[in-house]
Amino acid sequence: MNKIVKVTKSLIFSQQKTIFSSAILIAATIVVARFFGFLRFRVLASYFPKEQLDIFFASFRIPDIIFEILITGALTSSFIPIFIKYKDNPKELRENISSIINLIFLILFLIILTLSLFLKKIVLVITPGFSPQKVDQITFFSSILLFGQLPFLILGNFLTGIGQANKIFFLPSIAPIFYNLAIIITTIFLHQLGLLAPVMGVVFGSLTIFLIQIPLLFFDGFLYQFVLKINAAVKDFLQMAIPRILTVIVSQIDATIDLTLSTFLKAGSYTAFYLAQHLQLLPVSIIGMAWGQASLPYLSDLVKEKKEFELKQIVEETILCLLFLSLPFAIFFIFGRTPLVRLFFGGEKFDWEATVVTAKTLSYFALGLPFHTLYYFLTRCFYAFLDTKTPFLIGLFSIIVNTFFSVFFIFFLKLPVFALALSFSLAIILNTLSLFLFLTKKIKNINYAYLIGETLKIFTAALIASLPSYLFLKVADPWIFNTRYTINVFFLLFSVALIYFFWYLFFSWVLDVKQLYLFTKLIGKAKEYQKKIIELFNQYD
């Protein structure tokens, strides 16, 4: 039994040595978490029509704003560099990190208290096209999420930050799986309660995210203290966090504008936008977010140690690796959009009109997918330099562009909801290119010819590979697979994906794309984890 515990602890608390191994581990667990996430969406679409799902998804807008400000704004940009800075001094680490946690929770308490007093008025402002009944429901569900979801979710993400700062990624990465499971289970077994069932699942799931990561609180000698001192570390944290928080505030205003504009469109438009956005986030999170999360501790170390050549090399190779992985997904999402939406969201109450609208919206999101993937890594590069101001200013400008195009497309050109996705793609392309240009001022001697040449080869391989794949899709859909059934939609997409990625790898080999080495390392890393798991079961036997 002791051996089982020891091996299990080694598996769960193993510290990664490279960005690649960390990204692979995060990506693998994100794949599983996203699977349950989309299973959650499909279950919701099976029990609730798109008009009700508009209410459910809109109820997250206000809680999401607070979460993004406190976690995406403060934690992701500032917490890990501060943790790394003081980790060699356990006493200072305990005092400083505990002070930061307590400060965030004090701010959270004040925000929730203030919002609860004006919640309905705020909901009325952000959903002007919804009926009074919908507004009342959104207000009710939003209040539950503010008090029941946010505290546990923020606690859980602090534990995630502690784990990532110590280069431990397994436990934080599997926590979202249980979050999604809680929503699925409550929806299936308590659907008689209406939308209250999945809302309760969200609360239980948030609690689970916190509970499952509690062991990280005691890792490496860190002990939480009930203390709040505004010392140098907390001031550094705030100085780094404030520009990023401002960026998040502006981006959340932009997301809220998307909700507001969608309320003036047909019923179900926000659901189509929301689902398409989350589907395009599947490769973005598996590739871009995973690499971004994994890279920050390593980039921070390289900047701290002033290893300029190694930093330049990692930035160049990571950009190309991300493009190598994301470009084929973008093209696949464009030509395979309809069966993709049918597979992920084709629940009993998700009709054909909703499918078509969501699929078209997805294709416009896909235009910016490779740039969206790069965005998360490039921002982490700035954070490693303790620079959150530059991403803020660039983000502010791109969000203004996004808002301008959104309003222009919806009110002047009278375009449907896919216009919001097109606006987003244009803005994220501008944002990412600007980030890269400003990053080259911090990292000298970037090999532009190498980056452009390899990118063109990757794009060419992905584009040519799509031609036989799209032809097969058009032939197989009516003649080989009866796609009235979900299982046949799955086999159709699986077949098309196999053909597409086979030809993509083949043309990448023909064009001598250097990033093919990624797959050999991926197989080697998978075998390493397989060995640990087999060892665990052998010990049990």
Spatial distance between the Cα atoms of 261 and 421, rounded to a whole number of angstroms: 12
Cβ neighbours of residue 275 under 8 Å, at least 6 residues apart?
Answer: 41, 341, 344, 345, 358
Q: What is the mean pLDDT of residues 313-321?
A: 88
Q: What is the mean pLDDT of residues 293-299?
A: 75
Residue 366 pLDDT level (bands cut at 50, 70, 90): very high
Residue 301, CA atoms < 13 Å, CB-side half-sphere: 13
Q: What is the mean pLDDT of residues 328-343?
A: 93
**Which pLDDT value is given to residue 14?**
56
Spatial distance between the Cα atoms of 48 and 490, rounded to a whole number of angstroms: 23
Q: What is the mean pLDDT of residues 459-484?
A: 85
Share of the chain above pLDDT 70, in %: 87
Per DSSP, helices labelled H in 13-89 are 19-47, 50-58, 61-67, 80-86
Q: Is the pLDDT of residue 538 over 50?
A: no
Among 462, 488, 486, 493, smallest CA distance to 337 is for 493
In this structure, are residues 487 and 334 in contact, taking their beta carbons and an 8 Å threshold? Answer: no
Identify which has the larger pLDDT, 72 or 316. Answer: 316
- At 484-509, the pLDDT tens digits run 777 888 888 999 999 999 999 999 98
**Which pLDDT value is given to residue 61?**
93
Give the range among 163-167, 201-205, 356-360 with minimum mean pLDDT: 163-167
Q: Is the pLDDT of residue 533 over 60?
A: no
**Which pLDDT value is given to residue 530?**
44
Rounded to whole angstroms, the maximal C-alpha distance in the chain is: 69
Q: Is the pLDDT of residue 523 over 90?
A: no
Per DSSP, helices labelled H in 263-388 are 269-283, 290-304, 308-335, 337-345, 352-366, 369-384
Spatial distance between the Cα atoms of 519 and 502, rounded to a whole number of angstroms: 13
Residue 58 pLDDT level (bands cut at 50, 70, 90): very high
Among 249, 242, 264, 250, smallest CA distance to 427 is for 250
**Which pLDDT value is given to residue 219?**
62
In this structure, are residues 137 and 271 in contact, taking their beta carbons and an 8 Å threshold? Answer: no
Residue 236 pLDDT level (bands cut at 50, 70, 90): confident
Q: What is the mean pLDDT of residues 346-370?
A: 89
**Which pLDDT value is given to residue 55?**
95
Residue 318 pLDDT level (bands cut at 50, 70, 90): confident
Q: Is the pLDDT of residue 540 over 60?
A: no
Q: What is the mean pLDDT of residues 346-373?
A: 90
Residue 481 pLDDT level (bands cut at 50, 70, 90): low
Q: Is the pLDDT of residue 79 over 70?
A: yes
Among 271, 276, 362, 275, smallest CA distance to 50 is for 271
Cβ neighbours of residue 469 under 8 Å, at least 6 residues apart?
Answer: 332, 335, 496, 499, 500, 503
Share of the chain above pLDDT 90, in %: 43
Burial of 479 (0-12, 13-18, 19+ CB in 10 A): exposed
Which range of 255-269, 422-436, 465-479 scores highest in mean pLDDT? It is 422-436
Give the range among 109-123, 162-176, 234-248 with minimum mean pLDDT: 162-176
Residue 331 pLDDT level (bands cut at 50, 70, 90): very high
Spatial distance between the Cα atoms of 64 and 466, rounded to a whole number of angstroms: 37
- At 412-458, the pLDDT tens digits run 999 999 999 999 999 999 999 999 999 998 888 888 999 999 999 99
Among 318, 430, 425, 420, smallest CA distance to 374 is for 318
Identify which has the larger pLDDT, 253 or 172. Answer: 253
Helices first, then strands: H and E counts in the chain:
22, 0
Q: What is the mean pLDDT of residues 229-256?
A: 83
Identify which has the larger pLDDT, 77 or 83. Answer: 83
Measured CA angle at 20 (ends 17, 23), to 5 deg: 100
The continuous run of DSSP H or E covering 401 comes out as helix 389-407
Q: Is the pLDDT of residue 225 over 60?
A: yes
**Which pLDDT value is given to residue 147?**
94
User: How far lies 318's CA from each of 98, 282, 457, in Å?
Assistant: 34, 19, 16
Identify which has the larger pLDDT, 262 or 34. Answer: 262
Spatial distance between the Cα atoms of 378 and 318, rounded to a whole number of angstroms: 10
**Which pLDDT value is given to residue 320?**
92
Q: Where are the domains of the chain?
A: 2-446
Q: Is the pLDDT of residue 467 over 90?
A: yes
